Amino acid sequence: MNNKTTFILFLSLILCSLYVSQAARTGGWNPISDVKNAHIVEIGKFAVSEYNKQSKSGLKFYEAVVWEKPWLKSMNLTSFKPAM
């Protein structure tokens, strides 16, 4: 192969790998910054009610406060109460 063909092949390989790596990042998981936001609470309550309708169960929406200790790679549940 000549140099121009090799360069184009190499460039297309780089561009394809960049496209694939960007596509893998889309839709990733991120922690919710404000869990007391009314919209977030509404989504949670909706999810619980829909689950209860489909599974005929009595699941309830609760507020859990968790103390995360990344240096120990652990989490402790400090509070667990019904959300109003």
pLDDT of residue 68: 86
Ramachandran angles phi, psi of 81, nearest 5°: -140, 155
Residue 36, phi then psi, degrees to nearest 5: -90, 0
Note the pLDDT tens digit of each residue in 7-56: 788 778 777 676 665 555 566 677 788 888 999 899 999 999 999 999 99
- Number of folded domains in the chain? 1
Reported as a pLDDT band with limits 50, 70 and 90, residue 80 is: confident
Q: In the predicted model, is pLDDT for residue 84 greater than 80?
A: no
| CA–CA–CA angle 55, 30, 66 (5° rounding) | 70
What domain range includes position 68?
3-82
Q: How many CA atoms lie within 13 A of 22 on its CB side?
A: 6
